[in-house]
Structure 1
Amino acid sequence: MQHVVIVGGGVIGCLSALNLLDAGARVTLIERRQIGREASWAGGGIVSPLYPWRYSQAVSALSDFSQNFYPGLGRRLAERTGIDPQVTPCGLLWLDSDEQADALAWAERQDKPLRSVEADFIYQQVPVLAEGYDSALWQADLANVRNPRLMAALRDYLTTIPECRVLEETPDARLLVEHGRVTGVDCAGDILRADAVVLAAGAWSGDCLATLGLALPVEPVKGQMLLYKADPNWLQSMVLHAGRYAIPRCDGHILIGSTLEHEGFDKTTTEVALSSLRASAVQLLPALAEQEPVMQWAGLRPGSPEGVPYIGQVPDYPGLWLNTGHYRNGLVLAPASCRLLADLMLGRRPIVDPAPYRIEGRVQRR
């Protein structure tokens, strides 16, 4: 496979490009705005599904590969670009108690170092936590990656590779179909011929596929976040309760997230979300009541049924491949998803069973 055009410059598009470049392909990466500035920038960067025991084996298989992959990727990008993505294994405390039995059973099946802990451990690990938590689940090896830095590093790295062409601010990218085959992309009259096209446009993937008369069940789901600033190491580990989380960064910034809103492609931040997220922040970390958030933002996740992504070639349209629909777990699943895509495109033995992610039967004609 000599030349691949990838539509979408988030973490899925960028890591798809990197995998194909490593295999000797030539890649053109097209992004409607700026590389890595949509959902991949907006998320929290926890390298795990929020509640991994709730997900199918299809999600778990990709997550397992990715968790082991990120430390090496972080080192590679830091060495090549000087931008450290700050993959930080600070551990995660689940403060919800009603699912502990299910979670521990899942951990035993999956051989995960998840364990139940009591109040003494909880407050030794996170002294600034609100009072009243008697038990929790703890996994010490879980990391978060500072996703804006990750995306900046990926962009810088890709732009230095001679075999990679990066096109930003290219909103009008349309699939080029000739004799029933996808042969490239038409960028407002600039025709890019390719041996294969990968659609990795996140929440916008459904609109792109609709031009072929296909209905992809991927829709935008807005998530709003808050950012606070504390001293470094004030919050030492990630904490999660009732679907809301606090994530520490190395420099003392703390992310609070997130909302789940079905508002189409509207990324407007709202006072309602601000109030709700501030309440969650104070419920977890009471000292934040004395602070104003330093930033509020929103991103659009590519929502999909059960969060199982679409990875593979599109039936009846040879030359067109999908890598999209990761919902809340784009950063979590990206390394494995993009490796699997490259395996399938290049005819290599896949790292995981590709059957759950196939397009057949999951995309219908409109």
Structure 2
Amino acid sequence: MFNILVVGGGLIGLLTARELVRSEAKVTVMERGTTGRESSWAGGGILSPLYPWRYPEPVTALAHWGQLRYEGICRELSDTTGIDPQWTRNGLLMVDVTEPECSRASAWASRYGYRLEPLDRAGLENCEPELGQGESGLWMPDVAQVRNPRLLQALRADLEKRGVAFEEQCEVQGFVSEAGRITGIRTAAGIRQTTRVVVAGGAWTGRLLESTGLSLPVEPVLGQMVLFNGPPDLLHRIVLAGERYLIPRRDGRVLVGSTLERTGFEKVTTKAALEELKTAAFGILPRLRNVPVETQWAGLRPGSPTGVPFIGEHPQIRGLYVNAGQFRNGVVMGLASARLLSDLMLRREPIIDPAPYLPGTTGASAHGGMDFV
């Protein structure tokens, strides 16, 4: 048995800890704040990238692996902890996608084996009768969602049952290495000796690793969301229209997201974003005008240049690993990201080719640009 410190208690850190502890490692999760309360909690939980054909192939590879397995892990977590992450297959309905995009989407779906159906106005109305806009659309019936705060609660409970230790309000300030190998981490309480560390610090990962000589382009990107407290069956599908989306929860609540703002580490909500998101929501689903807004919140995504995360060992320091930069797709890529890193750490056959994700190489940063939504 060997000891591993996971720096970061968000979804990526928790899923990585779960993969490692299942292989009989002794794992401690260290979190600068409260476990699962940053971008993992703030996101929408859609188990698909938005307009997925716009992303580089390495994003699709991670997403696809996880999509095939999320239902099973959610059922397992519900059985073992009593907390249901509410995996739900609502499908993803994309409204008024341009003709060139439709052709690109169709080619992508055929290549990777996804079901994607074009819809005319009648098809849109049949799919989601309450829509307030759209003359055509694309429909992906197999897309599911999870209720990410519940997923995080279930993972925390599951990990505690498996003997994982948690140290909250414990900010890692730096790393100690000798002869190119990790020997410890620095905290306010002093140096903690260790020989294996996973940095899964979300938006803070790039800043954390600066002192190690690794310039990792992971930066905070603010996203604001609004929650409507609606009645059950107000909305049935996940709907994407332009840059905005609606997500129906089982209890009738509807999430509206999200903004894309570069404000550094300032995590605030604004009235301007609230009004913008409400206006977009009313255009997509006019009945929301009669539904009260329950709350508004913000989170800091771990932005990366192309949306391809950094997964693997530090190029200069053995025993120091990175799992970060999932940007807007941390939930859907989380399962595969955790499994891939664990495969590399445990010297197992990796589930997919790790080369595109390795930090400090030409891999993850070499892919062409993309259209962020």
1-structure distance, mates of 2:121, 2:269:
36
Deviation of 1:185 after TM superposition, in Å, equals: 2.1
Identify the residue that residue 292 of structure 1 maps to in structure 2.
292
1-structure distance, mates of 2:139, 2:68:
18
2-structure distance, mates of 1:194, 1:169:
19
Identify the residue that residue 156 of structure 2 maps to in structure 1.
155
Residue 305 of structure 1: SS of its match in structure 2? Answer: coil
Q: Aligned letter for 1:206?
A: G
Deviation of 1:60 after TM superposition, in Å, equals: 0.6
1-structure distance, mates of 2:349, 2:308:
21
**1:187-210 residue CA offsets vs partner (Å, 9 max, x unmatched):** 323543323100000100011101
Identify the residue that residue 232 of structure 1 maps to in structure 2.
232
**Contact 1:183–1:197 under 8 Å retained in 2:** no
1-structure distance, mates of 2:206, 2:97:
38
2-structure distance, mates of 1:155, 1:167:
12
Identify the residue that residue 116 of structure 1 maps to in structure 2.
118
Alignment of 1:30-45 (within 5 A): 30-45=30-45
Deviation of 1:89 after TM superposition, in Å, equals: 0.4
2-structure distance, mates of 1:28, 1:185:
13
TM-score normalized with structure 2 length: 0.94
Identify the residue that residue 330 of structure 1 maps to in structure 2.
330
2-structure distance, mates of 1:102, 1:361:
29
2-structure distance, mates of 1:86, 1:315:
39
**Contact 2:49–2:332 under 8 Å retained in 1:** yes
Identify the residue that residue 143 of structure 1 maps to in structure 2.
144
TM-score normalized with structure 1 length: 0.96
The 3 A distance-change label for structure 1 pair 172 and 360 is closer
1-structure distance, mates of 2:75, 2:173:
33
2-structure distance, mates of 1:217, 1:25:
30
**Contact 2:310–2:325 under 8 Å retained in 1:** yes
Identify the residue that residue 371 of structure 2 maps to in structure 1.
none
Q: Aligned letter for 2:112?
A: Q
**Contact 2:4–2:198 under 8 Å retained in 1:** yes
Q: Does 186-195 or 306-315 show the bigger shift? A: 186-195
Residue 157 of structure 2: SS of its match in structure 1? Answer: helix
**1:255-291 residue CA offsets vs partner (Å, 9 max, x unmatched):** 0000000000111100111111011100101111223
Deviation of 1:215 after TM superposition, in Å, equals: 1.5
**Contact 1:95–1:135 under 8 Å retained in 2:** yes
2-structure distance, mates of 1:194, 1:333:
28
Deviation of 1:159 after TM superposition, in Å, equals: 1.7
Alignment of 1:214-293 (within 5 A): 214-293=214-293
2-structure distance, mates of 1:334, 1:172:
22
**1:135-189 residue CA offsets vs partner (Å, 9 max, x unmatched):** 1110111001100100111111112222x11111112443222343212323323
Deviation of 1:125 after TM superposition, in Å, equals: 2.1
**Contact 2:229–2:292 under 8 Å retained in 1:** no
2-structure distance, mates of 1:338, 1:266:
28
Q: Aligned letter for 2:18?
A: L
**Contact 2:7–2:172 under 8 Å retained in 1:** no
Instruction: Verify: 1:105 aligned to 2:99, yes or no.
Output: no
**Contact 2:81–2:158 under 8 Å retained in 1:** yes
Deviation of 1:242 after TM superposition, in Å, equals: 0.5
Residue 37 of structure 2: SS of its match in structure 1? Answer: coil
Structure 1 residue runs of 5 or longer lacking an equivalent are none
**Contact 1:50–1:243 under 8 Å retained in 2:** no
Residue 247 of structure 1: SS of its match in structure 2? Answer: strand
Residue 211 of structure 1: SS of its match in structure 2? Answer: helix
Identify the residue that residue 168 of structure 1 maps to in structure 2.
168
Q: Does 17-26 or 212-221 show the bigger shift? A: 212-221
Q: Aligned letter for 2:143?
A: L
- RMSD, aligned α-carbons: 1.5
Identify the residue that residue 127 of structure 1 maps to in structure 2.
129
Residue 215 of structure 1: SS of its match in structure 2? Answer: coil
**Contact 2:230–2:292 under 8 Å retained in 1:** no
Residue 306 of structure 2: SS of its match in structure 1? Answer: helix
Identify the residue that residue 95 of structure 1 maps to in structure 2.
95
**1:324-354 residue CA offsets vs partner (Å, 9 max, x unmatched):** 0111111110000100000000110000000
Identify the residue that residue 61 of structure 1 maps to in structure 2.
61
